[in-house]
Each structure stands twice: as structure tokens, then as C-alpha cells.
Amino acid sequence: MKVVYMDNNATTRTAPEVVEAMLPYFSTYYGNPSSMHYFGGQVAKEVQEARSRVAALIQADPAEIVFTSCGTESDNAAIWGTLNSYPDKKHLITTRVEHPAVLNLATYLSKRGYRVTLLPVDREGRLDLDQLTAAITDETAIVSVMWANNETGVQFPVEEIAEIVKSRGAVFHTDAVQAVGKIPIDLSRTPVDLLAFSGHKLHAPKGIGVLYIRRGTRFTPFVIGGHQEKGRRGGTENVPYIIGLGQACRQAQTHLGEENKRVRALRDRLEQGILDRIPNVLINGDRGSRLPNTLSVSFEYVEGESILLLLSNLGICASSGSACTSGSLEPSHVLRAMGVPFTAAHGSIRFSLSIYNSEEEIAYVLDRLPPIIERLRAISPFWKKRTAEAG
């Protein structure tokens, strides 16, 4: 069966060029970059080259790039690394819509003597910056706000937030896992102190991440060990994956234009097509400030898992913020924080595209989705009742 992959916020296909770039580093160039001999030393040079490419994608200095094992490690390292550098400051600010990599750490910290402020969002998923400003005190060690939300694609005004946080003397971290590679990021102009991202969201493999640490930022290592990464993260470098990430970042940079034009147009066509073909549909998230590839859509009176399974039978891969797919029983914490009504929260589906998607695929989904929703609504007791009342 043909696979129509529209779940790129979950993970992406490793680009064939990336795989190719990596392969020699498993077999031919397997040396340790820290070794004294030339065999290892030549690998160190390539790692350095990859670091430069990664830095270039976000307009950073290569020395500010630390390779980690994943986005989650980068987020954890950023927060722990800051808290441990400011042992007297016991306050942390983040948002209710963060990824578990930040949110669950915040919950953990709240049970261990830290005061945690979780900023709410409005119905469109936006933050109130006055509320953020008011929450920062002398006690605040770190503010962590994601660049873009993984479920809805809503982008926060990171530049403005960074200015606010810096002017109040706290450290600012942003989880940019969903943003890097999808939108232009220029850290020479946006004063974030720490930024996390992850390889597998931009066509590099799973299991490689980056923590950007602005020069001059106080940071206590999270993974303590050898002197690798200038003492900021112990552990022998994952050379093939670092090379792969370097290649992926180089490609991401050349594809940024396409991502923002062609992929955005595909997403918009999918969105408009769904709205035109299916009644009682809600688009989740501020349409004025969204990642170009993400569409979160709620189908009222049906449940997300049922939709996903029927789509999956047709080879269409999407994901759901709804409870029953995720192992937890509550609808997505993001949609709940946004106050999406219960009638819709359980029936939310996320389509997230990439440069590998085509117009034919969008047409295929638009052809197959409406009968699925119709069929599930025909089973739903609420839909019957609703139409009976309306008629």
C-alpha cells in the first residue's frame, strides 16, 4: 500500500542524501574525534564542519552548538543547566502548552522545592505577554517558552519574549524543536540564551539533538563526563549522526523557501478543502501565526482514534491530540489549555506536511477523509441528536 505520510511533526523521513553522508562514518571513518592519531583527527574536522552547518542554519557561532542525544535531552540540559547555575533562584516559568520534555520536567521540579508558573494561552493558543512580564521576579532563574507548538503549529513571538525576559534579568530558553528547519531563525537578532532542537524533525535521524548555548551564558553540564563539547556535554560524539545532522541542516537551509511557499500552499489547500467538504469542523490555533506545515483540525462529534485508524487503513498517516491514542485518557493538554470545547477536543487530527508531500497526496486525502467522518458521525449518538434538533 502506498504510504501518504503527513505526520512530520512526529518525525520525518531521513533524507536519502543524509543517509548517504552518514554511511562512511560507520565503516570507513570510525575513529574517535578525540584521538591523537590522524585517523581520529580527520573525523574531528568533519564534526567541526557539521557544527558549522548546524550553526549557520540558526545564525549562531559554531562554538555555541552542543550536540546531544535528542530534543528532550537538550530541553532537560537547558533547564537543569540553568537551575544548577543559579542555585538561589527557585522559580521557573513556562507555558501550559509545552511538549512533555519541558512540561513534565516542570512538574517534577514543582515537587522538589521549585515554584513553577505555567502561563495560560487563549482560545487561539496565544500567550499574554503582560502576564509573562508580571510573572518574572528576582527569584526567576529561567523562562522556557517553545518557539512553535507541535500540535497546533502556533508560533510564539520569541523575539519579543526574549527581550522581555532579558530586560528582567532571567535566562531565556526556547524549545525550537518544531521551528528549526521550518521557518527562518536568526539568533544574531533574537536574544535567546538557550535553544533546543532535534534532528529527526528536519530529515536527520532520530537520536541526535542540539543545544545552542549563547556565548557568555552560565551553564552547568547536565551530562557529566569527558571533556567533549568543550566540557558542556560528556560522551563520545555520535559522529555519523552529527555528520547526518550537518547535511540535513544544509538541506534545510536551501529548502526554507520551498517550505514556506509550496508546503504552505499544500497545507492551505488541505485546510480549505476540509472546510469546504465537511461541516462542523474547527481549525485549532492562530491562523495568523502558524508553522507553514501544520494543520490541527477538530471534527465535532467523532473521536480522533477512530478517524486515524480508518485513515491508516488507506495508508494515510496523521496523528491525533485526542486522548485515546496517546495512552492518557484526557484530550490533549494543548487543546484543553486553549479551551477547545469538549465537543471538538476529542476529535482532533493533526496533519503535518513536509517537502516530500505532493498535490496528488492532498487530493487523495481530501477525497478519502469526508466519507470517513460521515461514517463515524452516522454511528455517533451526538451527531444524530444534533441534526434532529437542527431539522
Kindly list the catalytic residues: 324
Q: Which does 177 bind (CB under 5 to 8 A by kind): other proteins, ligand PLP, none?
A: ligand PLP
- Write the CB contacts of 354 (distance below 8 Å, at least 6 apart in sequence): 5, 8, 12, 13, 203, 263, 293
Alpha-carbon distance of 245 to 315, in angstroms, equals 28
Residue number with CB closer to other proteins (88 or 389): 389
Nine-digit cell at 372? Answer: 470517513
Which one among 72, 76, 190, 306 touches ligand PLP, defined by CB under 6 A? 72
Is 239 in contact with 25 (CB distance < 8 Å)? yes
Q: How far is the CB of 354 from other proteins (least distance, A)?
A: 21
248 binds ligand PLP (CB under 6 A): no
Which one among 45, 123, 230, 287 touches other proteins, defined by CB under 8 A? 123
263 binds other proteins (CB under 8 A): no
106 binds other proteins (CB under 8 A): no
Q: Which does 209 bind (CB under 5 to 8 A by kind): ligand PLP, other proteins, none?
A: ligand PLP
Torsion-angle region of 300 (φ positive above 0: left; ψ -120 to 50: alpha; else: beta):
beta
Q: Which does 331 bind (CB under 5 to 8 A by kind): other proteins, ligand PLP, none?
A: other proteins
- Write the DSSP symbol of residue 18: H
Identify which range of 188-196, 215-223, 282-290, 374-382 contacts other proteins by CB under 8 A: 374-382
Residue number with CB closer to ligand PLP (75 or 237): 75
Of residues 9-68, those binding ligand PLP (CB under 6 A)? none
Q: How far is the CB of 313 from other proteins (least distance, A)?
A: 7
319 binds ligand PLP (CB under 6 A): no
Closest alpha carbon to 61 in 178, 234, 217, 254: 217
Alpha-carbon distance of 67 to 48, in angstroms, equals 11
**351 three-state secondary structure:** strand
Which one among 309, 315, 358, 359 touches other proteins, defined by CB under 8 A? 309
Strands 294-299 and 281-284: antiparallel
106 binds ligand PLP (CB under 6 A): no
382 binds other proteins (CB under 8 A): yes
126 binds other proteins (CB under 8 A): no
Find the radius of gyration of the CA atoms of the chain. 22
105 binds ligand PLP (CB under 6 A): no
Q: Which residue is it, cell 551553564?
A: 219
Which one among 100, 225, 226, 341 touches other proteins, defined by CB under 8 A? 341
Q: How far is the CB of 255 from ligand PLP (least distance, A)?
A: 19
Query: How many CA atoms lie within 13 Å of 48's alpha carbon, on the beta-carbon side?
Result: 9
Q: Kindly list the distances between the CA atom of residue 247 and the CA atoms of 32, 59, 65, 305, in Å, as whole numbers in the listed order.
A: 20, 16, 15, 36
Count of positions on this chain that bind other proteins (CB under 8 A): 33
Which one among 26, 39, 342, 356 touches other proteins, defined by CB under 8 A? 342
Position of minimal CB gap to ligand PLP: 71
Closest alpha carbon to 346 in 359, 336, 360, 356: 336
Q: Which does 303 bind (CB under 5 to 8 A by kind): other proteins, ligand PLP, none?
A: other proteins
Alpha-carbon distance of 277 to 383, in angstroms, equals 17
Is 205 in contact with 239 (CB distance < 8 Å)? no
Of residues 21-80, those binding other proteins (CB under 8 A)? none
Q: What is the contact surface with ligand PLP in residues (CB under 6 A)?
A: 70-72, 75, 99, 101, 146, 150, 175, 177-178, 198, 200, 209
